[in-house]
Structure 1
Amino acid sequence: MKQSLRAKRMAKHHRRMNQAPKLNLVSLMDIFTILVFFLLVNSSDVEVLQTDKSIKLPASVSDIVPENNLVVMVSAEDIVVAGQRVGSVASVLASTEDKYAPLETELKYQASKARPLTEEEKLTGRPVTIMGDQTIPYALLKKIMATCAAADYRDISLAVSQTAVSDDAQGAEG
């Protein structure tokens, strides 16, 4: 007996519905490949400085990203250069000199381990980032900056936590 077109179509539909479903992996692999490339491209712009729990950085709206260079961390109690403790904040504040000798010695030692300066760097000095707690006094920061300059680290950057620009600040700028 001959089947009608409708009966053939219904039989074909029932056969298709009784089969196990198949998973198309090609499109899934395409999505994951695009996701991996997106993460690789966008992760290179992020610069994270290793911070100490005892240091709370001041807030800023600066858009300039610091370079990866020597870091001088100043907490409420200690001064640390490249992970090495060089002195206490109390001893720096108690000193009457404009510079702090142990910090200058450590900075000169770090400079001796680094590559030679280029002609441009000879004019600007070696780069250094000072990561100071927001509660440290200005006199301490001034002594640390003077010590860095004396040790030929004159390209000084201050580490801050980036915050969004408020509407009031944008109105004042424009």
Structure 2
Amino acid sequence: MKLTPIQKRAARNARHGNSLDMNLVSLIDVFTILIFFLLSNSGVETLPAASVHLPESSAKKDPKQTLVVVINATEITVEGRKVADVPPLVNAKDDLIPGLKSELDLVSARPVALAEDAAQAHSVTIMGDKDIPYQLLRKVMYTAAIANFTNVSFAVNQKG
């Protein structure tokens, strides 16, 4: 009786008690590629894409991971959630924006997991369209200060 190579291997493994051997070389290759990818992308901070035309600046500072308030011609959003419409706010006498204030209060009430994140807990990045009036931007900054967000940054596009 003639055995095929697979049958010979199965008989030899049964005689010696060898179980199925696993080739770890390909797994090591996959993990190496995964680690390289994670390390190469760990320093990249991106702000959420929005329909906002940012002003240009020659600032060299990289953005930090903070709460993002986006202001365009029609609405104000916090982390993608709409909190206020812009047209009624432009001519409003009061500097406080109630919808923004309540959303910032909700965000500041969240517990902070790590001690080093506590410094960033009351930081906010404002992505304001370059065509919005300064009075609206001032109202947003005032509301953030009232909500105890004292570290305010502005998102800009780098020149060149």
Q: Structure 1 pair 85/133, CA: closer, same or farther in 2 (3 Å)?
A: same
TM-score (norm 2): 0.70
The answer on 1:82 being equivalent to 2:100 is: no
Report which of the two has the higher share of helix.
1
Which residue identity is paired with 1:143? K
Whether the aligned pair in 2 keeps the contact of 1:125 and 1:155 (CA below 8 Å) is: no
Which residue identity is paired with 1:163? K
Deviations 1:17-51 (A, max 9, x none): xxxxxxxxxxxxxxxx9988765544222211112
Shift of 1:159: 0.5
Deviations 1:98-157 (A, max 9, x none): 211111111001111242897xx68x9810000111111111100000000000001000
Whether the aligned pair in 2 keeps the contact of 1:117 and 1:126 (CA below 8 Å) is: no
Which residue identity is paired with 2:142? A
Residue aligned with 2:65, SS: coil
Structure 1: gaps of 5 or more residues: 1-32, 165-174
1:7 maps to what in 2?
none
Distance 1:42 1:116 in 2: 26
Q: Structure 1 pair 51/101, CA: closer, same or farther in 2 (3 Å)?
A: same
Q: Structure 1 pair 125/90, CA: closer, same or farther in 2 (3 Å)?
A: same
1:49 maps to what in 2?
47
Distance 1:35 1:102 in 2: 46
The answer on 1:102 being equivalent to 2:95 is: no
TM-score (norm 1): 0.65
Shift of 1:82: 1.3
Among 31, 50, 71, which residue is 2:68 paired with?
A: 71
Q: How does 1:6-17 map to 2 (within 5 A)?
A: none
- State the Cα RMSD in Å: 2.9
Distance 1:117 1:101 in 2: 30
Runs (4 or more) in structure 1 with deviation over 6 Å come to 33-38
| Larger Rg, first or second structure (1 or 2) | 1
Whether the aligned pair in 1 keeps the contact of 2:112 and 2:121 (CA below 8 Å) is: no
Whether the aligned pair in 2 keeps the contact of 1:125 and 1:154 (CA below 8 Å) is: no
Among 84, 103, 108, which residue is 1:111 paired with?
A: 108
Q: Structure 1 pair 34/57, CA: closer, same or farther in 2 (3 Å)?
A: same
Structure 2: gaps of 5 or more residues: 1-30
